[in-house]
């Protein structure tokens, strides 16, 4: 029994010494006390314990000054005792880990505990103290000892640097930290603005990719310190929750894209270029796992891929250095500095290196130095570009000088060939125009021949009857000459008998009819000859004041046979005078009327259903001629081509495609204009406007 009492007493003493050994003594108000080494920790895997029940559980003493709880879905309870040996009763507890999702702080008030809840799941303005880290009030009278509890849950890795100090000491630390963070932010902002300015000057897309890369690094590094949640999205906890999964992945992707552009990886090694896109996939997978709340798997994939990407980018830079590309040296140097910072930061997480301000901010230091070095590298690349461009310009100048002689000789040869070709084209054009004129002249001649043949046939067919009638008259007159006093009665009887035999009354009427027919034929022949002379105007090549109506009438006379029964209505104004070349204007109207006839013939089997309307109108300083038909019309899609040489809608053998081209040329010669109004199956109207006075 005595031995049992001795064991119990010994166990009690050891327990008392352990409690006293884990008690945090605060006695220096000028400095902060790092309390991580004197904490006790209890892991609640299912997050089911409340404070009253967790107080009876076995807490395990922390194994390091900054406990590393890793990535876990568990809730962690932290217990610590503080004995105040200073004269300051109001102290602050700082939990220097801004990205904790949920935290509860329990402090004893009389016989119960007061709880303060915080974390990234709450809007930032819910916090009592305006700081990215978590600050809790501790009230301990001098000489007393109080026990406190923390409950912590987070999806990210938890490493707890807990400090206790006076409000003044905490504020001094916050000011120092804000100044250092401000310097870092200022460097990154300057680099962003500097590279944007350079981009506006040189228009090199490398600078845009680099600006995006810097911006993502800035967001990632400041997210670790909690500043974006404080200043950018204080009312959106969801962004703060996912930022440490999304931003680092985007940084990895952006870094490879920038490297590909900056180092021209595709030019030097297509295989390495393709590898960069393969390494992008794990980052995307990491983001997707974070979205579905598999945070530990997401973080593991991201960290493993980040290590692979770091080695890959370093290897790529070294390989490109061997090609002699100078910017690769800057890139490798900058990337090496950044990797050193990342390695130190990771070693701190694995507790190989101690947790302190240097190891905590080493990634910021490394990224800042990397940013500056890469900016220098980009600036150096401008000089390389200038040198390459200068060399290229010199090569081009030398090549141009060498080629100038050859080019000048070839230009002379080509010029001569072009002149010959131009002359040939002019000759061909003259021949084609003449061919079109001859074609029109052939049609015109055929019509005129037909028109003249009618009155000539009429004259020739009446010559025989006229000769017979004249012979009959001569016979009657001869009978009259045979009259004398002796046989006058007998001769008169014979004469009357002869007149009856020859039908003297009809003979007189027939003579008048024959003479009238011959006179009409002669008149019609004179009209055709006059119309032909007025149409051609071969003796009038100069511009002169001309009656356009006269030209229209002459054209209609000559083309009468081709109308073949098509009705023509004319509405001609008085004094339709214009200073022009009459022959060319008549040719223009002949072509337009000919097109109208063709359009009607294509639409109607019976030409008498066709109608051509010709109208002249006096305007202020111009004369307007309108030639309209009720033919097949012209489609919208071909109207712009109508005046092109050789363009025709007629069947093969029906036209050369030069008619309207000649019309346009004649109007251009007279400073005239032509408009087309047409509707399919309704008809077409050509409106020609001629200046009354030539310019």
pLDDT of residue 625: 93
Report the distance separating Cα 384 and Cα 374, nearest Å. Answer: 15
pLDDT of residue 12: 37
| Domain locations in the chain as residue ranges | 20-175, 180-392, 428-536, 544-691
Q: Which CATH number is associated with domain 20-175?
A: 2.60.40.2380
pLDDT of residue 122: 92
Copy the structure tokens of residue 348: 């701190």
pLDDT of residue 448: 59
Copy the structure tokens of residue 265: 């990886």
Report the distance separating Cα 666 and Cα 644, nearest Å. Answer: 14
Residues of the chain with pLDDT under 50: 1-21, 442, 537-539
Distances (CA, A) of 401 to 208, 222, 388: 38, 58, 20
- Answer yes or no: are the C-beta atoms of 655 and 426 closer than 8 Å: no
Quote the percentage of the chain above a pLDDT of 70. 76
Mean pLDDT of the chain: 80
The architecture of the domain spanning 544-691 is 2-Layer Sandwich (3.30)
pLDDT of residue 10: 36
Output the DSSP codes for 248-274. Answer: HHHHHHHHHHHHHHHTTHHHH-HHHHH
3-class DSSP state of 568: strand
Q: Which CATH number is associated with domain 180-392?
A: 1.20.1070
- Answer yes or no: are the C-beta atoms of 47 and 101 closer than 8 Å: no
- Across the beta sheet with 567-571, the strand order is 567-571, 611-618, 622-629, 683-691, 673-679
580-613 burial, b at 16+ Cβ within 10 Å, e below that, comes to bbbbbbbbbbbbbbbbbbbbbbebbeeeeebbbb
Contacts of residue 101, defined as CB under 8 A and 6 or more positions apart, other chains included, come to 119, 120, 121, 153, 154, 155, 156, 241
Q: If you count them, how many residues does the chain have?
A: 695
The 10s digit of each residue's pLDDT in 629-673 is 999 888 887 877 777 776 776 665 555 667 788 888 888 888 899
The 10s digit of each residue's pLDDT in 49-64 is 999 899 988 999 988 8
The 10s digit of each residue's pLDDT in 463-508 is 666 666 666 666 666 666 566 666 677 666 766 777 677 666 666 6
């Amino acid at each position: 029994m005595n031995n049992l009492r001795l064991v119990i007493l010994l166990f009690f003493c050891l327990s008392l010494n352990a409690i006293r050994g884990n008690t945090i003594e605060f006695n220096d108000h000028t400095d902060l006390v790092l309390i991580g080494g004197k904490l006790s920790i209890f892991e609640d895997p299912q997050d089911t314990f409340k404070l009253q029940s967790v107080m009876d559980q076995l807490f395990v003493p922390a194994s390091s000054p900054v406990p590393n709880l890793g990535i876990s879905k568990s809730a962690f309870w932290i217990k610590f005792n503080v004995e105040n040996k200073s004269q300051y009763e109001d102290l602050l507890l700082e939990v220097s880990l801004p990205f904790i999702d949920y935290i509860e702080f329990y402090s004893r008030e009389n016989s119960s505990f007061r709880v303060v809840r915080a974390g990234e799941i709450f809007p930032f303005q819910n916090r009592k103290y305006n700081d990215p880290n978590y600050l809790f009030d501790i009230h301990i009278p001098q000489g007393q000892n109080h026990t406190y509890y923390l409950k912590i849950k987070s999806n990210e890795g938890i490493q707890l640097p807990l400090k206790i100090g006076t409000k003044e000491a905490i504020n001094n630390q916050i000011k120092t930290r804000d100044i250092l963070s401000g310097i870092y932010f200022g460097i990154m902002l300057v680099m962003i603005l500097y590279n944007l300015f350079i981009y506006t000057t040189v228009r090199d897309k490398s600078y845009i990719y680099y600006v995006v890369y810097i911006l993502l690094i800035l967001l990632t590094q400041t997210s670790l310190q909690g500043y974006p949640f404080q200043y950018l999205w204080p009312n959106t906890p969801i962004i703060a929750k996912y930022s440490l999964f999304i931003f680092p992945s985007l940084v990895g992707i952006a870094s490879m894209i920038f490297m590909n552009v900056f180092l021209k990886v595709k030019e030097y090694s297509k295989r390495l270029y393709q590898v960069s896109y393969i390494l992008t996939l794990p980052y995307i997978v990491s983001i997707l796992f974070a979205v579905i709340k598999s945070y530990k798997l997401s973080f593991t994939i991201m960290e493993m891929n980040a290590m692979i990407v770091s080695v890959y980018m370093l290897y790529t830079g070294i390989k490109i250095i061997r090609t002699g590309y100078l910017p690769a040296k800057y890139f490798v140097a900058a990337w090496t500095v950044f990797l050193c910072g990342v390695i130190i930061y990771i070693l701190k997480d694995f507790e190989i290196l101690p947790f302190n301000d240097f190891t905590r901010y080493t990634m910021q230091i490394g990224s800042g130095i990397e940013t500056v070095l890469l900016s220098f590298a980009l600036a150096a690349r401008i000089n390389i570009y200038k040198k390459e461009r200068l060399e290229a310009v010199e090569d081009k100048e030398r090549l141009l000088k060498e080629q100038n002689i050859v080019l000048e000789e070839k230009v002379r040869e080509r010029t001569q060939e072009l002149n010959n070709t131009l002359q040939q084209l002019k000759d061909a054009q003259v021949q084609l125009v003449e061919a079109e004129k001859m074609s029109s002249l052939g049609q015109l001649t055929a019509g005129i021949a037909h028109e003249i043949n009618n009155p000539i046939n009429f004259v020739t067919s009446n010559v025989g009857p006229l000769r017979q009638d004249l012979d009959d008259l001569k016979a009657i007159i001869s009978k009259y000459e045979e009259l004398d006093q002796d046989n006058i009665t007998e001769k008169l009887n014979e004469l009357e008998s002869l007149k009856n035999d020859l039908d003297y009354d009809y003979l007189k009427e027939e003579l008048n009819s024959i003479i009238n027919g011959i006179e009409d034929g002669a008149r019609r022949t004179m009209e055709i000859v006059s119309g032909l002379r007025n149409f051609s105007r071969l003796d009038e090549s100069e511009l002169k004041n001309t009656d356009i109506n006269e030209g229209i009438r002459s054209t209609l006379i000559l083309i009468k046979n081709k109308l073949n029964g098509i009705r023509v209505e004319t509405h001609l104004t008085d004094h339709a005078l214009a200073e022009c070349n009459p022959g060319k204007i008549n040719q223009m109207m002949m072509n337009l009327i000919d097109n109208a006839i063709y359009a009607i013939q294509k639409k109607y089997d019976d030409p008498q259903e066709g109608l051509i309307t010709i109208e002249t109108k006096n305007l202020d300083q111009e004369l307007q001629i309108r030639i309209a038909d009720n033919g097949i019309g012209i489609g919208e899609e071909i109207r712009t081509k109508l005046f092109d040489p050789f363009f025709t809608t007629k069947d093969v053998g029906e036209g050369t495609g030069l008619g309207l081209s000649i019309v346009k040329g004649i109007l251009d010669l007279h400073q005239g204009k032509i408009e087309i109004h047409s509707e399919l199956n309704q008809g077409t109207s050509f409106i020609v406007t001629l200046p009354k006075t030539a310019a």
